[in-house]
């Protein structure tokens, strides 16, 4: 079982197994928290939802009274009684048809606001070390509340269910009044067995919930093997190497490991349903017999008998059902995860020093999980409009320096002064399954600046790609989407570059390019860097590239070695120095002379 599964299972087990006073207080606290989430529904929709639930809750009592009135009515008044009862039944039917839509809309608003709060928690100032903690990552996955099966519930599910439960018990008072009209003792005679039936059902479903969650890792493994069998690349290899049966065996193994205990528990629950039958049948039979006997003996009318029988059955139905436990318990895990994230993540935004250009002064940094000093007193300045290339061996800390500059990490000591905002093209850029326009303008202020979009794409070298897209800027960059296309690795890298260039057209004054041409051939790369000065005029540029031939055009080259800047100057100055940079350049030049092309590629636009 992986860490996330253990976290989910642990939280569910804690909430399902505790029976102490503290657990009761915690349950009340969580239920109130679910009700508070309804503030995101909006007053008008919330009032409509409450009205729907109230009508639904009052319907049993209204039907009981109307049915009794119909039975006790004679002569010409019978048609009026039939119309009243028919109107009540039609109202109930209309509400039952209308209710799911209102619940879905209300729950959706709660879930939308919940995910917005989660996004704010994850981005409002937390640096990557806080977000990269295993505990935080697990909590974020839980709080995302993306239902995959019946045990996964969203805050919207829990909030709407809790409101329905509250209104349901308010509606019980009307049914209780109908019973009290015959005799007060009918209320405890019906209510107490009904609550016993509910407690038994809740106990059964909690146990079933626990059995399912205990095997949740097998469920995730099953989904993985199932998806693997139908992915295009893996599907090709399954046919070529003939391991399709092996995939199916893995899938079935996890299905049986997860659902075997669940099916066994299903059979156990089926065998115990007679307990709930007895809890319902015996008390109701006793009540019905006594009321019928009393009516026959002259105590009360036939109309009262009919109303009592109908009301008693409806009260048992309203109290006895326990399926709401699934939504309540499942959503409590999500609410608790958000509460834990609020405690673990910083509440104040990260403060970045302001300055002209970029300046690193005595910056030291080591990742929390290792004691190795990555940066050990880095001093580096980039003047406004200057292009500086940062080079060094693998593992020297170039990408780490980039993350510090972007504010994703905070230095252990030293200062970083930078004009904000910063636009960055990372090595591991993201491929969004959105249109080209959305990929480029993602995260920027709206409305979209059309001129900036066009110039960013043109300057990034996307003109040829754009001319081949069937719907131009509106073409989805994903074959899985209607009218979508796939891009090669190099073409995706140009899209990522266009995204950063668009940011510089709309406010960013610092551009960081971390291996921005790793997927491009040498000719395309040379053309891009030949235009870099013109397309980044007035922008401070930090360029990181493993191809030293391309950094020659930078205004200055800085060598990062041993956690410090050990050499810096123009390309010509560093070659004349004959130091580490010159040796690295000579080795790489020899590789190119011998025909090596250092490029990562994944295919082409089709």
pLDDT score for 39: 94
- Going from the C-alpha of 171 to that of each of 57, 284, 375, the distances in angstroms are 5, 20, 67
Give the whole-angstrom CA distance, residue 133 versus residue 345. 10
- CATH superfamily, domain at 358-593: P-loop containing nucleotide triphosphate hydrolases (3.40.50.300)
Per-residue pLDDT band at 318 (split at 50, 70, 90): confident
* Each residue's pLDDT tens digit, 397-450: 998 999 899 888 889 999 998 867 889 988 888 888 899 999 999 866 668 889
Of 575, 578, 565, the C-alpha closest to 392 is 565
Cite the DSSP H helix spans in 350-417. Answer: 398-405
Per-residue pLDDT band at 303 (split at 50, 70, 90): confident
The most confident of 88-92, 185-189, 575-579, by mean pLDDT: 575-579
Between these two residues, 488 and 274, which has the higher pLDDT value? 488
CATH topology of domain 3-344: ABC transporter transmembrane region fold (1.20.1560)
pTM over 0.85: no
Between these two residues, 411 and 283, which has the higher pLDDT value? 411
Is pLDDT above 60 for 119? yes
* Each residue's pLDDT tens digit, 197-255: 888 888 888 788 788 878 878 887 888 888 887 877 777 787 788 888 888 899 999 99
Is pLDDT above 70 for 282? yes
Task: Report the length, in residues, of the chain.
Answer: 606
Least confident of 369-373, 439-443, 507-511: 369-373
Per-residue pLDDT band at 121 (split at 50, 70, 90): confident
Of 344, 407, 352, the C-alpha closest to 140 is 344
Give the whole-angstrom CA distance, residue 59 versus residue 148. 34
pLDDT score for 223: 83
Give the whole-angstrom CA distance, residue 3 versus residue 8. 9
What is the rounded (10 degree) CA torsion for 270, 271, 274, 277?
-10
Of 535, 542, 532, the C-alpha closest to 510 is 542
Is pLDDT above 70 for 50? yes
What is the bridge-based pairing of β-strands 564-569 and 422-425?
A: unpaired
Give the whole-angstrom CA distance, residue 124 versus residue 71. 65
Between these two residues, 112 and 593, which has the higher pLDDT value? 112
Of 320, 338, 8, the C-alpha closest to 149 is 8
Is pLDDT above 80 for 368? no
Give the whole-angstrom CA distance, residue 448 versus residue 95. 44
Name the residue ranges covered by the structural domains of the chain: 3-344, 358-593
The most confident of 118-132, 260-274, 285-299, by mean pLDDT: 260-274
**Sign of the CA dihedral 463, 469, 471, 473?**
negative
Cis peptide before 447 (omega within 30 of 0): yes
Q: Got the DSSP string for 417-442?
A: EE-S-EEEE-TT----SSBHHHHHHT
Tokens at residue 276, please?
């709930």
Cite the DSSP H helix spans in 124-185. Answer: 128-131, 134-144, 155-180
Between these two residues, 90 and 27, which has the higher pLDDT value? 90
pLDDT score for 531: 79
Contacts of 570 (CB under 8 A, 6+ apart): 555, 556, 557
Tokens at residue 149, please?
């099966």
Between these two residues, 462 and 304, which has the higher pLDDT value? 462
Average pLDDT over residues 276-302: 81
Is pLDDT above 50 for 65? yes
In the Cβ-directed half-sphere of 280, how many Cα atoms lie within 13 Å?
A: 19
Contacts of 162 (CB under 8 A, 6+ apart): 31, 34, 35, 328
Q: Where do we find the tokens 């409590």? A: 332
Q: Are 513 and 469 in contact (CB under 8 A)?
A: no
Per-residue pLDDT band at 593 (split at 50, 70, 90): low
Per-residue pLDDT band at 527 (split at 50, 70, 90): confident
pLDDT score for 257: 92
pLDDT score for 395: 86
Give the whole-angstrom CA distance, residue 123 versus residue 534. 34
Q: Are 562 and 575 in contact (CB under 8 A)?
A: no
pLDDT score for 511: 92
Is pLDDT above 50 for 306? yes
Per-residue pLDDT band at 495 (split at 50, 70, 90): very high
- Going from the C-alpha of 148 to that of each of 164, 216, 252, 256, the distances in angstroms are 24, 11, 18, 18
pLDDT score for 206: 78
Is pLDDT above 60 for 344? yes
Tokens at residue 501, please?
């260039």
Comparing 3-344 with 358-593, is the CATH topology the same? no
Least confident of 9-23, 102-116, 165-179: 9-23
Whole-number percent of the chain with pLDDT over 90: 27
pLDDT score for 330: 81
pLDDT score for 599: 47
When the pLDDT of each residue in the chain is averaged and rounded to a whole number, the result is 82
* Each residue's pLDDT tens digit, 467-476: 999 999 999 9
Whole-number percent of the chain with pLDDT over 70: 89
Tokens at residue 443, please?
């995260």
Contacts of 389 (CB under 8 A, 6+ apart): 543, 544, 545, 551, 554, 556, 557, 558
Q: Is 561 helix (H, G, I), strand (E, B) or coil?
A: strand
Give the whole-angstrom CA distance, residue 50 versus residue 47. 5
Q: Is 186 helix (H, G, I), strand (E, B) or coil?
A: helix
pLDDT score for 365: 93
Is pLDDT above 50 for 1? no
Q: Are 73 and 81 in contact (CB under 8 A)?
A: yes
Give the whole-angstrom CA distance, residue 511 versus residue 422. 6
Give the whole-angstrom CA distance, residue 177 versus residue 188. 12
DSSP lists the bridge partners of residue 415 as: 361
Per-residue pLDDT band at 537 (split at 50, 70, 90): confident
* Beta sheet of 556-561, edge-to-edge order: 422-425, 510-514, 540-544, 387-391, 556-561, 564-569
pLDDT score for 253: 93
Q: Are 404 and 416 in contact (CB under 8 A)?
A: yes
Per-residue pLDDT band at 77 (split at 50, 70, 90): confident
pLDDT score for 446: 66
Phi and psi dihedrals of 393, rounded to 5? -70, 165
Helix (H) or strand (E) holding 566: strand 564-569
Give the whole-angstrom CA distance, residue 6 versus residue 196. 33
Tokens at residue 198, please?
């509910």
DSSP lists the bridge partners of residue 564 as: 561
pLDDT score for 532: 79
Q: Got the DSSP string for 514-545?
A: ESTTTTS-HHHHHHHHHSHHHHTTT-EEEEE-
Average pLDDT over residues 512-535: 78
Average pLDDT over residues 533-552: 84
* Numbers of helices and strands, H then E, in the chain: 23, 9
Tokens at residue 158, please?
């829990």
């Amino acid at each position: 079982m992986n860490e996330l599964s253990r976290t989910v299972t642990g939280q569910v087990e804690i909430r399902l197994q505790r029976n102490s006073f503290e657990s009761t207080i915690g349950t009340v606290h969580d239920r109130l928290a679910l009700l508070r989430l309804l503030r995101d529904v909006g007053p008008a929709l919330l009032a409509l939802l409450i009205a729907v639930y109230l009508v639904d809750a009052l319907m049993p009592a209204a039907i009981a009274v109307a049915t009794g009135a119909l039975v006790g009515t004679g002569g010409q008044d019978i048609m009026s009684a039939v119309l009243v009862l028919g109107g009540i039944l039609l109202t109930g039917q209309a509400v039952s048809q209308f209710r799911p839509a209102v619940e879905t809309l209300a729950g959706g608003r709660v879930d939308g606001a919940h995910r917005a709060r989660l996004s704010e928690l994850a981005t409002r100032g937390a640096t990557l070390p806080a977000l990269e903690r295993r505990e935080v990552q697990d909590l974020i996955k839980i709080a995302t509340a993306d239902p995959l099966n019946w045990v996964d519930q969203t805050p919207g599910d829990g909030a709407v269910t809790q409101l329905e439960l509250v209104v349901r018990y308010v509606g019980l008072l009307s049914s209780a009044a109908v019973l009290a009209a015959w005799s007060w003792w009918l209320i405890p005679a019906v209510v107490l067995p009904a609550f016993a039936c509910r407690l038994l059902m809740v106990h059964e479903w909690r146990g079933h919930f626990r059995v399912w969650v205990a095997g949740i890792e097998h469920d995730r493994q099953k989904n993985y093997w199932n998806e693997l069998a139908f992915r295009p690349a893996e599907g090709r290899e399954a046919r070529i190497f003939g391991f399709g049966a092996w995939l199916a065996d893995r899938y079935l193994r996890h299905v049986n490991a997860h659902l075997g205990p669940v099916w066994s528990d299903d059979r156990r629950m089926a065998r115990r349903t007679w307990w709930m039958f007895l809890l319902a049948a015996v008390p109701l039979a006793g009540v019905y017999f006594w009321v019928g006997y009393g009516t026959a003996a002259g105590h009360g009318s036939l109309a009262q008998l009919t109303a009592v029988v109908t009301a008693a059955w409806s009260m048992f139905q309203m109290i006895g059902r326990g399926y709401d436990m699934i939504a309540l318990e499942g959503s409590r895990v999500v609410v608790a995860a958000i509460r834990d994230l609020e405690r673990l993540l910083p509440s104040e935004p990260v403060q970045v020093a302001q300055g002209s250009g970029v300046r690193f002064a005595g910056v030291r940094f080591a990742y929390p999980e290792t004691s190795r000093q990555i940066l050990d007193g880095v001093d580096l300045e980039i003047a406004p409009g200057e292009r500086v290339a940062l080079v060094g061996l693998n593992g020297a800390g170039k990408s780490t320096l980039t993350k510090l500059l972007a504010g994703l990490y905070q230095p252990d000591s030293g200062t970083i002064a930078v004009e904000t905002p910063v636009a960055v093209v990372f090595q591991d850029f993201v491929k969004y399954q959105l249109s080209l326009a959305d990929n480029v303008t993602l995260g920027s202020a709206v409305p979209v600046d059309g001129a900036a979009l066009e110039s960013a794409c043109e300057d990034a070298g996307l003109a040829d790609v754009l001319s081949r897209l069937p719907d131009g800027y509106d073409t989805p960059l994903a074959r899985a989407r209607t009218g979508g296309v796939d891009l090669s690795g190099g073409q995706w890298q140009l899209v990522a570059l266009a995204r950063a260039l668009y940011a510089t057209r709309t406010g960013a004054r610092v551009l960081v390019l971390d291996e921005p041409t790793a997927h491009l051939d040498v000719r395309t790369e040379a053309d891009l860097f030949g235009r870099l000065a013109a397309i980044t005029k007035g922008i401070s540029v930090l360029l990181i590239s493993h191809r030293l031939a391309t950094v020659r055009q930078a205004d200055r080259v800085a060598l990062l070695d041993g956690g410090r800047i050990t050499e810096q100057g123009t390309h010509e100055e560093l070659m004349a120095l004959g130091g580490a940079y010159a040796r690295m350049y000579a080795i790489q030049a020899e590789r190119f002379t011998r025909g090596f092309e250092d490029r990562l590629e994944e295919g082409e636009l089709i």
